[in-house]
C-alpha cells in the first residue's frame, strides 16, 4: 500500500496538489483516535476507509474534550482529582504512542491532518470560557508546540492550527499567532490551516496574512436550521484575501443530532455538494457520529449524557465500528471521485445563472473551459438563465456517480431541467 501523499498548494493558489497534479483529499474525521483507539482498532478502521477511497484523516494531538469516555488507551498528561490535565506532569509514553499511531495512518496511505490547539486549551474562546481548567498555560505553550511539530513533521502532515475556535479575543489571536510561528519555524515545508467555529468562517488579521497559512478551511457544522452554511461560508472564504484554496473540514456528521432528527446520508451529500459548487474544493471531509469520538458500547458520551457540564447536547452515538459503516462515507467518496474525474478543483460559483430552483440549488462553472455544473438537493425542476441548446447534457447520480444523457427544454434564453427520481441530482453541461 503506498504511503500518504504529500500535499502542496498549486502555484495558482486555488487548489491543492500531490505529485504535481491537482488533488482533492478525501478526509475521515478521527479526532479522538490517539487517546482512545488501540493500534488494532485503528488498523482495522483504516483498512475500511482506504477501501472506500479515503486518503487523509483529521486527528487531534491532544485529548478531544467531547470524546467518549471510559476506555482511554493513553493520555498525554496526568490528571488531577477533578479529571483536569496537569500540564506540568507530561506522560513520557505519549509522544512515542501518538507518533506510532500517526505513522500507521501514513503507511496506510492517509495524510495526517493534525490539530495542534483545540478551542478548549486556548484562552479566550467560547469553549475555554466554559472549562478554564483545560487551558494550556502560557509557560507550557511553546514547548508543547515545538515538541508536537518536531515529533510529527517527518510525516508531512497538514497542521490544523486551531480547532472549533472563535477567533475574536486578543488572547486567542495571540496564541494562534504563536502556533503559526511555530509551524513556520519547525516545519516550513508543511501546509497549515485554521479550523474556526461554525458561526464565523472568516479569519481576522494578524492571522489571515500569516505566511504559514496555506489554505482556508471552515466548518459548516451541525445546525439543522443552517443548511445554507456549507455554500455561504465557502463563498465568503472565496472572497477573503489573500486568495487561497478553500475546504469544508467539518460538514454535518452522519448520525448526529443536536435536536430533531439525526443527519443522514442525504444531508451529508447536500452539505458536501453545496460547498464544492460554492468553491470548497480543496478537500472533502466526512464525519460519522461514533467514529469522531471513538465511542464504545458501555462507555459514556459526555455530550449525550450528564457526564460533563458541556456547552451542547446531542444524541447517543453508535459504536465506532458500526458508525464506520454508515452509507454517507461512500457518498463522500463519490463526491471526491466526481471532483477528480471532472476536474472541478477550479470552480467559479455562478448563482446568477439560477432563474428558478429549490433552496440549496447551486450552479458553478469550471475554469478555464466554462463547463457548467448544477446541483439540486431535491427532485424539483430547475431553470437556468442560459441557452443550453447544442450543449452536451448529462445527469449524474451523486450516490453512484453514474452518468446518463438527459434532455432539456430551452426557449432560446433559458433552459429548464426536469430530473428523474426522487433524490438530489447533478447536471453537467459542456459547450
Q: Tell me the pLDDT tens digit for each residue of 234-249.
A: 999 999 999 999 999 9
In this prediction the pTM is: 0.96
Can you identify the CATH homologous superfamily of domain 7-341? Glycosidases (3.20.20.80)
**Residues 243 and 13: beta-carbon distance below 8 Å:** yes
Cα dihedral 307, 308, 313, 316 in deg (nearest 10)? -30
Residue with cell 432563474: 355
Total residues found in the chain within this entry: 431
Give the CATH architecture of domain 350-430: Sandwich (2.60)
User: According to the model, what pLDDT value does residue 301 have?
Assistant: 83
Where in the chain are the domains? 7-341, 350-430
User: According to the model, what pLDDT value does residue 37 have?
Assistant: 96
- Could you tell me the CA-to-CA distances from 167 to 10, 173, 196, 203, 329 in Å, in that order? 27, 6, 7, 7, 30
- Low-confidence residues in the chain, pLDDT < 50: none
**Residues 237 and 218: beta-carbon distance below 8 Å:** yes
Grid coordinates representing 307 are 457526564
Q: How far apart are the C-alpha atoms of 162 and 147, rounded to whole Å? A: 17
Amino acid at each position: 500500500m503506498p504511503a500518504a501523499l504529500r500535499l502542496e498548494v498549486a502555484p495558482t493558489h486555488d487548489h491543492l496538489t500531490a505529485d504535481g497534479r491537482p488533488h482533492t483529499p478525501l478526509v475521515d474525521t478521527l479526532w479522538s483516535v490517539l487517546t482512545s483507539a488501540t493500534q488494532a482498532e485503528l488498523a482495522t478502521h483504516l483498512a475500511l476507509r482506504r477501501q472506500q477511497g479515503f486518503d487523509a484523516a483529521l486527528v487531534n494531538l491532544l485529548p478531544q474534550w467531547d470524546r467518549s469516555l471510559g476506555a482511554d488507551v493513553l493520555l498525554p498528561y496526568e490528571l488531577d482529582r477533578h479529571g483536569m490535565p496537569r500540564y506540568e506532569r507530561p506522560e513520557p509514553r505519549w509522544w512515542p504512542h501518538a507518533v506510532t499511531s500517526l505513522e500507521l495512518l501514513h503507511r496506510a496511505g492517509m495524510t495526517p491532518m493534525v490539530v495542534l490547539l483545540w478551542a478548549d486549551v486556548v484562552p479566550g474562546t467560547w469553549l475555554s470560557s466554559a472549562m478554564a481548567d483545560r487551558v494550556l498555560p502560557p509557560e507550557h505553550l511553546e514547548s508543547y508546540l515545538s515538541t508536537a511539530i518536531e515529533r510529527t513533521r517527518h510525516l508531512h502532515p497538514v497542521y490544523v492550527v486551531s480547532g472549533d475556535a472563535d477567533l475574536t479575543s486578543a488572547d486567542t489571536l495571540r496564541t494562534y499567532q504563536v502556533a503559526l510561528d511555530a509551524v513556520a519555524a519547525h516545519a516550513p515545508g508543511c501546509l497549515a490551516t485554521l479550523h474556526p467555529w461554525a458561526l464565523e468562517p472568516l479569519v481576522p488579521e494578524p492571522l489571515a496574512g500569516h505566511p504559514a497559512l496555506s489554505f482556508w478551511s471552515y466548518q459548516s457544522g451541525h445546525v439543522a436550521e443552517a443548511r445554507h452554511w456549507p455554500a455561504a461560508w465557502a463563498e465568503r472564504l472565496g472572497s477573503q484575501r489573500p486568495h487561497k484554496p478553500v475546504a469544508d473540514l467539518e460538514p454535518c456528521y452522519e448520525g448526529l443530532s443536536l435536536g430533531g432528527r439525526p443527519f443522514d446520508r442525504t444531508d451529508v451529500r447536500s452539505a458536501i455538494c453545496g460547498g464544492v459548487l460554492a468553491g470548497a474544493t480543496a478537500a472533502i471531509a466526512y464525519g460519522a457520529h461514533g467514529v469522531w469520538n471513538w465511542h464504545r458500547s458501555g462507555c459514556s458520551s459526555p455530550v449525550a449524557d450528564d457526564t460533563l457540564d458541556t456547552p451542547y447536547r446531542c444524541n447517543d452515538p453508535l459504536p465506532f465500528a458500526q458508525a464506520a459503516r454508515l452509507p454517507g462515507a461512500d457518498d463522500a467518496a463519490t463526491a471526491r471521485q466526481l471532483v477528480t474525474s471532472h476536474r472541478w478543483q477550479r470552480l467559479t460559483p455562478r448563482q446568477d445563472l439560477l432563474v428558478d430552483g429549490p433552496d440549496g440549488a447551486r450552479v458553478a462553472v469550471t475554469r478555464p473551459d466554462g463547463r457548467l455544473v448544477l446541483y439540486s438537493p431535491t427532485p424539483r425542476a430547475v431553470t437556468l438563465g442560459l441557452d443550453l441548446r447544442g450543449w452536451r447534457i448529462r445527469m449524474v447520480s451523486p450516490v453512484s456517480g453514474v452518468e446518463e444523457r438527459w434532455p432539456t427544454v430551452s426557449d432560446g434564453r433559458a433552459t429548464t431541467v426536469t430530473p428523474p427520481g426522487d433524490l438530489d441530482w447533478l447536471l453537467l453541461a459542456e459547450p
